[in-house]
Chain A
Amino acid sequence: KNEVEQSPQNLTAQEGEFITINCSYSVGISALHWLQQHPGGGIVSLFMLSSGKKKHGRLIATINIQEKHSSLHITASHPRDSAVYICAVRPIQGAQKLVFGQGTRLTINP
């Protein structure tokens, strides 16, 4: 079992829908990152969380440390949101590396 599991692996939705991507992890962490990867490989860091909730534009990230779970929400989704969304955790042990989930491929159709 991977230390970081994301669901769903693939998600297709219509423009305007509310999107939720989930991330569960099995190790103690000091922080959790949500990343966005577009075709061609470029990765953009969206959020880093250690507790609670963060919001940036139409993106909202939440984390529940006790339940070892985080969610990334996209409101009013748009085709330009189509990308792979990756959850990565910074374990308390080996705190300088990130452990990544497999990613969720999101496709927003017009």
Chain B
Amino acid sequence: DAKTTQPTSMDCAEGRAANLPCNHSTISGNEYVYWYRQIHSQGPQYIIHGLKNNETNEMASLIITEDRKSSTLILPHATLRDTAVYYCIVRPAFQGGKLIFGQGTELSVKP
């Protein structure tokens, strides 16, 4: 399975966009990029996923580079409730909930 590299921590001002990077240079052609977040002492929450194209939903946008070796999760207007650990995960097709979690990025949104 492809490994991901994320910064350990990041800060963001409330109301500004939070851009969380992820490197996945060994990603294979059939592997998706997934993003989950985990607020302290809760279960992880699914945010978004993509294969090649950029994706957007009500929570966030996912930008995947053309060579698919890196991606960026964008929270367009961060709030204090977005403070959490964000996990970037590369998952082969047809693996369902079999996910390999790294240590993620701890995002702190500050007033």
Same assembly: no
